[in-house]
Structure 1
């Protein structure tokens, strides 16, 4: 039994222990807070926030605007900037390059390449994945397979593994066939014991599991119909200038160029330079403030843009929508084949489009665009919401298309595949870039490094 004095001593000792323990815990928490503040450069937080926003295309004036005054695309950039500013231990990004231009993509690639914590990302841009990722996780047959290296390394490694797997599968199937044949021939008679031995070997082989046959994933094949020929010039832009009102600055002044059926050009340039505006001018959605745009009377143009899916009647199925748009197609089976060329099959064609994914709705828009049979494709960020396989199929379709194309895209790989020329929209004019898209990307990288380099006193 404890005396009162001993109980008091024990109580005091216990309290001291608790106080000491709480002190240590508070000290550790305080150290963690200091470390976190150091990681965030709390004393430089405002400057860091400005640097991130500037990298994503926000000017000084835009950085002081309220978020409610931005469009949906710019709000997505704000959300991305917030995630980068917080610098979490685990950063999850789903298609971070959507709504970005090439300048911002180059900046983001460099920013994520040097990210010091865990980054898990979903992206359709192979070029971006090559620049950022050190491991690729492939989800197939409800399993995850991890590959070391960037996306190109993943593709090469996977092909080698599948080749070896197929060789092993074929060898095993040959051994099984030979063994079964031997057992069938010599199951009785003088060599029956050998047949029984091989039967046991075959049973063990089957029990341990045979190598699965490599089943290639279904590839998508897109196509644009042959629009036929029209005599040049198809479209002439002569002395064109444009601004939205008398109170706004000129976006373009004195543009002069021509477009024919063999034109394959990509428009690049800083955000706000007017790339989408130029597509609208070419497509006759906007009229020039001065100058003129002369079009061949027989020229058909088809424009794909980021907000095209918003024009879909989501209560209709893809089949009904296409039948409504193209009344000359009277047979549903024919329209099914048309839609099927763009990767929508079976129930996807007849269910309400509100049940389709964003990528599937984009395929409906591509089918709608293709069946207009345009001579000139005007593509404004066509890769948003498309997966890598569909983007490759789109690139093949554009390469095999017999008409002209003007493209705005943040996907360097798509531009490299389909564009013969690079036009830079900047400083109220359009100039042809002397090199290819990779040299332009390097130019942007050097420009970005110069912009963000610490100033020398």
Structure 2
């Protein structure tokens, strides 16, 4: 007779085989966003053959490495999902243990918890030969913790009823000859599924309300209304009418991610799973998306590093902490307040219990062998103590690990540090001007956030000030001793991946001779222990960003130019970055889609728009209200 273990393995293999054939109801991607440029004709932008098969095989390996157990506690026909006794392991690492998943229709959940809650595992490298005989390394890895939970839900490894359709968005649309508008409107598979479900429910009198909702969704997907809805969504995410007719293969990965997001919003699944949906968006698109999602009527679960976005969208917060899912009513700010109150009460209870235990133990030790009367009292206290322990003692509050960044003192430089005189710029003679006749100065007191629509020239301005681009007209004068440190979202690509963070930093800063001294420096940016000596290619995206911040800081710049520094950072790390910026004695210019970071560090708001720069008179929240009013008018 086969053992229970053998039976389980056989059942798992059988389920994996079914998964290969099962039509996907969710879309997946590697966690670091390094999705290969897959073309419809089987070739990508690097000349590599179609990677669809390799992606599917990797996804299968990732799924097979994951073990999920749980019991459906809600009614099979319910629109709410309650899973009890939920456990999730990945390569034997326990991420969730005997917890519950509760997702109710009409609620919008923010899933939070420290990045790397379960560490970063299962990195796989795939080598493929291009036609040019070059080797292209495609790194895929699974982020565990929050992202792993979303992935398990999206792949239906958790027993979610079949009538609840799921859309898990993490992959940008593959390059193709289809236009952005066509890709959003391609919902035939979704329509067929909804029609089948409507046909099933038509025979059940008790499901009238659910049937009406399905008919409403089918009406939204109707061809007569589809184009107008798809166009409105794309416009909200920054696509002009011309861009909507542009072929997908002509867009960058970030813009194709926006198309995938538009498709998810167009389909309106019953359960929508979003992992960092604002990473590729500018402030305008973030505000539009926030307004769009706050009216989502079904089940939304999102992971985001933006507290402001979580506040605007979420009705509930799920906190992944110590392998349990803890639930809070309200948005992120309400969660912070409620959690602080609960932890304060917990610590009061813990301290009271510990005082009682210490008092009883002391009494037992002193009088346990005394007179008969005192001995009986000591025995009574011992029994009371045993009952307290047996019934379960209150645990000490375990605080999340805190992180602190640091930018070393840079010294003083007399103003003006950088002077911009009558500067105009355009990329070529055939393109319109990005800027015309700019006039301003910046110094070590400058704390500016650059805002404005995508393509208005925010990153271009930083490149002009750095000297990476030259003005078409005019002049930019810089102090002869000024050092500028620029952080941008592609900085991690410049790291030497075969070196460890320690080796890389020792190489970049040879004046620091002692390894222990460098270890302390790197440790300030949240990289500790084995992370410091592992190859950089084995680090998560968030950890690579921390290497970049360490490298940036120890150049000892006078000015910080930060272009989207919050991508791949968790909320706690962003707060640590904000604190370090505020303590920095030099100047700063910031481009970010994170309203809260801007509010924390910027003293001025400059709007880049219509070929010029204008100073916004009120704060960043006033600018957000301005964007909201623009959306309402449109």
After TM superposition, is the score higher than 0.5?
Answer: yes
How far apart are 1:32 and its partner, in Å?
8.1
1:391-444 per-position Cα deviation (integer Å, ceiling 9, x unaligned): 000000000000000000000000000000000001100010010000000000
SS in 2 for 1:359: helix
Residues 1:365 and 2:548 aligned together: yes
2:521 to 327, 338, 344: 338
Aligned to 2:248: 67
Residues 1:348 and 2:531 aligned together: yes
Cα RMSD after superposing both structures = 1.6
1:167 to 348, 358, 362: 348
- Give distance in 2, aligned partners of 1:94 and 1:403: 34
- Give distance in 1, aligned partners of 2:267 and 2:442: 47
Q: Cα 1:28–1:237, aligned 2, differ >3 Å: closer, same or farther?
A: farther
* TM-score normalised to structure 1 length: 0.92
Q: Cα 1:32–1:161, aligned 2, differ >3 Å: closer, same or farther?
A: closer
Aligned to 2:420: 237
Q: Cα 1:25–1:282, aligned 2, differ >3 Å: closer, same or farther?
A: closer
Residues 1:299 and 2:505 aligned together: no
**After superposition, where does 1:116-135 map in structure 2 within 5 Å?**
116-135=297-316
1:51 to 232, 241, 249: 232
Aligned to 1:8: none
SS in 2 for 1:417: helix
Aligned to 1:318: 501
Residues 1:78 and 2:288 aligned together: no
How far apart are 1:307 and its partner, in Å?
0.6
Aligned to 1:405: 588
Q: Which has the larger radius of gyration?
A: 1
1:94 to 271, 275, 280: 275
- Give distance in 1, aligned partners of 2:223 and 2:299: 21
Contact 1:40 1:87 in 2 (8 A): no
- Give distance in 1, aligned partners of 2:388 and 2:200: 59
Q: Cα 1:311–1:172, aligned 2, differ >3 Å: closer, same or farther?
A: same
Contact 2:220 2:226 in 1 (8 A): no
- Give distance in 1, aligned partners of 2:579 and 2:358: 41
Aligned to 1:185: 366
Contact 1:268 1:425 in 2 (8 A): yes
- Give distance in 1, aligned partners of 2:325 and 2:291: 27
Aligned to 1:226: 409
How far apart are 1:183 and its partner, in Å?
1.1
SS in 2 for 1:267: strand
- Give distance in 2, aligned partners of 1:216 and 1:76: 35
Residues 1:428 and 2:634 aligned together: no
Residues 1:414 and 2:414 aligned together: no
1:367-409 per-position Cα deviation (integer Å, ceiling 9, x unaligned): 1110111000000000000000000000000000000000000
1:153-200 per-position Cα deviation (integer Å, ceiling 9, x unaligned): 000000000000000000000000111111112213132111111111
- Give distance in 1, aligned partners of 2:263 and 2:201: 29
1:291-348 per-position Cα deviation (integer Å, ceiling 9, x unaligned): 0000000000010001111111211111111112222222211211111110001100
How far apart are 1:43 and its partner, in Å?
2.4
How far apart are 1:214 and its partner, in Å?
1.1
2:336 to 155, 158, 179: 155
How far apart are 1:215 and its partner, in Å?
2.0
**After superposition, where does 1:2-17 map in structure 2 within 5 Å?**
none
* TM-score normalised to structure 2 length: 0.66
1:92-118 per-position Cα deviation (integer Å, ceiling 9, x unaligned): 000000010000000000000001110
Q: Cα 1:292–1:42, aligned 2, differ >3 Å: closer, same or farther?
A: same
- Give distance in 2, aligned partners of 1:348 and 1:291: 47
Unaligned 5+ residue runs, structure 2?
Answer: 1-197, 205-210
- Give the structure with the higher percent strand: 2
Unaligned 5+ residue runs, structure 1?
Answer: 1-22, 452-457
- Give distance in 2, aligned partners of 1:332 and 1:239: 48
The higher relative CO (CA closer than 8 Å, separation ≥ 6) is in: 1
- Give distance in 1, aligned partners of 2:420 and 2:592: 22
Contact 2:452 2:608 in 1 (8 A): yes
How many residues end up aligned between the 2 structures?
429
Q: Return 295-304 or 318-327, whichever deviates more.
A: 318-327
- Give distance in 2, aligned partners of 1:156 and 1:58: 38
Aligned to 2:560: 377
SS in 1 for 2:327: strand
